[in-house]
Chain A
Amino acid sequence: MDKYKKIATEIRKRIVRMHAKSRSSHIGSALSSVDILTVLYFGILKIDTKNPWAKKRDRFILSKGHAASALYAVLSLRGFFSEEILDEYCIDGGRLPGHSTMHCVPGVEVSTGSLGHGLSIGVGMAIAAKYDAFEYRIFVLLSDGECDEGSVWEASMFAAHRKLDNLIVIIDYNKLQAFGRTKEVVNLEALSDNWAAFGWEVKEIDGHNFSKIEDTLCRVPFKKNKPGLIIAHTIKGKGVSFMENRLEWHYKSPDKEQLEIALKELDSL
């Protein structure tokens, strides 16, 4: 698990630098997803950086496309492209847009940014895998606020109806959405029950506990003929004390001084 911890810290440092340089939003959302992405990309996904479009690769869809900096940072560390490209995030003439975009760098499967799109696309991929009799899995990361979108539930219903056990959704449940706490905006307290009622096999874990994340992801499919859902309890802004669990870090970016403090904190983890 030390391996994961070291990787995740490096990814967080890259993210913090990207946001400081570009003065762009969503750093809190990116930091909350890092540990999940770390385990996926460094322990679970069957992918090949030399052949990023291999037919039978596992697919990962970042449906919460606003956490793009986290995905780009993970992909660079995993070896899909060099670290310098991260300097091109959200700047004039750069090649990395603020929401994850396919073809801008290798490794990004789907262009996202508007919430509620990724799961349906994952369902399509899961159907294709079954039809082609390929064994790859499709992992989709949703945000909690994203579950306000009706299309998430359209896709959820359909995936269970079609018994797509090669489809795994992870909800980054940091309990803060764009303009308030999820509890106050649209209460998601019954999240687990709702997905279970829709026909999904649900697991709830600490989304920052590497061994829990790994152990859970290793056991997919959780149940034959059922799509799997992991509710990952997370902390928005995880890893930088002054960003943790604070709404304003959905928008703010660290200034020079804050960047230094953040990097120091991350180093001491």
Chain B
Amino acid sequence: MRTAFINTLIELARKDSGIFLLSGDLGFSVFEKFREGFPDRFFNIGVAEANMVGIASGLALSGKIVFIYSIVPFITMRCFEQIRNDLCYQNLNVKIIGVGGGLCYGSAGMTHHSLADIAIMRALPNMTVICPGDPIEAEMATKLGIYRRGPLYIRLGKSHEPEVHSNLKFLDFKIGKGITIKNGSDITIIATGNILYNTKCIADKLINEGLSVRLISMHTIKPLDKDIILKSAQQTKAIFTVEEHSLIGGLGSAVAEVLAETDAKKVLFRRFALPDRYLKDVGSQEYLREKNALSIEQITNSILKEYKSIKE
């Protein structure tokens, strides 16, 4: 996803001389081309995220469109107050690019896991929160992000994510609108971010088991596409959310908030997300997913079990 992001940004920066990129000392083997192409618009701020957000604010107050980049916890939490006061309160044109959503930096340990960032970012007024599910969504989010005034957070995965949308057209992607990847009538699965591909595999398995599955990519968590949730609540028997984020405050919470305030409470609703604790196991993204009941097999089996329970 980060390659899709930077290639898109290079394309945009060629056309718009007001686009700046700031990095918190990250980008080895990723940002060199941007730096060479636009040396006066690339700034390595050093390992100083609070300063980076402030500088981005000053640039934005001077009419620039500024992208800032670091690993998710550093760029959302270390400098949280700068994001709140400088970017969101003043509603500035700064796009926060977090790399390594969820467990992408699995074996690096807890400091590099990002399990609360969606919750934190979506609590801020004026902020838009996008979690692209594949490189194509990352490209679209970057392209459309510059036209959306105000602060925006893009939670990227890392590298080599498989493509989910082979046929997605530019116009099919709208900030604040979920994408129906598969249409079905038994159950709905809503996924966000870097676990989208696995969720597609889950949907395929369930279809093989005879279920009619609706699969939605909810790339934008804020503003949330309420209509697509409510329609699914009316048209299917169960809604499942899948995300690589804490159970608290992420996609599942956002969908639950919508469902809890409607009359469609009869629909079965379950969240697949990470538990409310620091992960102590050491291992890769896939290993940690399995340790926390988020593997393709585990989620597939859980959904089958849940679905059987409502059929009985």
- Chain A positions near chain B (C-beta within 8 angstroms): 55, 102, 109-114, 116-117, 119-129, 131-132, 150-151, 154-155, 157-158
What are 25 A-B contacts defined by CB distance under 8 Å?
A55-B63, A102-B90, A109-B61, A110-B90, A111-B85, A112-B85, A114-B85, A117-B81, A117-B82, A120-B54, A121-B58, A123-B54, A123-B55, A124-B58, A124-B59, A124-B60, A131-B40, A151-B48, A151-B54, A154-B46, A154-B51, A155-B54, A158-B45, A158-B48, A158-B55
Contact code string B79-91 (vs A, CB < 8 Å = 1, else 0): 0011001100110
Which listed residue (B51, B60, B61, B90) contacts A151, Cβ 8 A?
B51
Instruction: Let me know if B59 and A127 touch, CB within 8 A.
Output: yes
Which listed residue (A120, A128, A151, A154) contacts B62, Cβ 8 A?
A128
Instruction: Let me know if A111 and B61 touch, CB within 8 A.
Output: no
Instruction: Let me know if B50 and A151 touch, CB within 8 A.
Output: yes
Q: How far is it, in angstroms, between the C-alpha of A233 and the C-alpha of B312 when the chains are bound?
A: 80
Instruction: Let me know if B54 and A117 touch, CB within 8 A.
Output: yes
Q: How far is it, in angstroms, between the C-alpha of A229 and the C-alpha of B60 when the chains are bound?
A: 24
Q: How far is it, in angstroms, between the C-alpha of A63 and the C-alpha of B299 when the chains are bound?
A: 51
Per CB-CB distance, the 7 closest pairs between chain A and chain B, nearest first, are A124-B58, A120-B54, A128-B62, A154-B51, A124-B55, A154-B48, A125-B58
Q: From residue A56, how far is it (CB to closest CB) to chain B in Å? A: 11
Q: How far is it, in angstroms, between the C-alpha of A24 and the C-alpha of B13 when the chains are bound?
A: 47
B41 within 8 A of A: yes
Which residues from chain A contact B52 at a C-beta distance below 8 Å?
A: 120
Contact code string B31-69 (vs A, CB < 8 Å = 1, else 0): 000000000110101101011111111111111100000
Interface residues of B, dominant DSSP: helix
Q: How far is it, in angstroms, between the C-alpha of A127 and the C-alpha of B55 when the chains are bound?
A: 8
Instruction: Let me know if B59 and A128 touch, CB within 8 A.
Output: yes
Q: From residue B245, how far is it (CB to closest CB) to chain A in Å? A: 27
Instruction: Let me know if B62 and A125 touch, CB within 8 A.
Output: yes
Instruction: Let me know if B58 and A123 touch, CB within 8 A.
Output: yes
Residue from A120, A125, A131 whose CB has the most chain B CB atoms within 10 Å: A120
Q: How far is it, in angstroms, between the C-alpha of A258 and the C-alpha of B249 when the chains are bound?
A: 51
Give the nearest-CB partner of A151 in chain B: B50
Q: From residue B85, how far is it (CB to closest CB) to chain A in Å? A: 6
Which residues from chain A contact B62 at a C-beta distance below 8 Å?
A: 124-125, 128-129, 132
Q: How far is it, in angstroms, between the C-alpha of A157 and the C-alpha of B48 when the chains are bound?
A: 10
Instruction: Let me know if A158 and B64 touch, CB within 8 A.
Output: no
Instruction: Let me know if B56 and A124 touch, CB within 8 A.
Output: yes
Instruction: Let me know if A120 and B53 touch, CB within 8 A.
Output: yes
Which residues from chain A contact B81 at a C-beta distance below 8 Å?
A: 114, 117
Instruction: Let me know if B51 and A128 touch, CB within 8 A.
Output: no
Known: A109-B61, A111-B90, A151-B51. 15 other contacts (CB 8 A): A111-B86, A114-B85, A117-B81, A117-B82, A120-B50, A120-B53, A121-B54, A124-B54, A124-B59, A128-B58, A128-B64, A131-B40, A131-B41, A154-B46, A157-B48
Q: From residue A57, how far is it (CB to closest CB) to chain B in Å? A: 11
Q: How far is it, in angstroms, between the C-alpha of A128 and the C-alpha of B54 when the chains are bound?
A: 13
Give the nearest-CB partner of A61 in chain B: B58
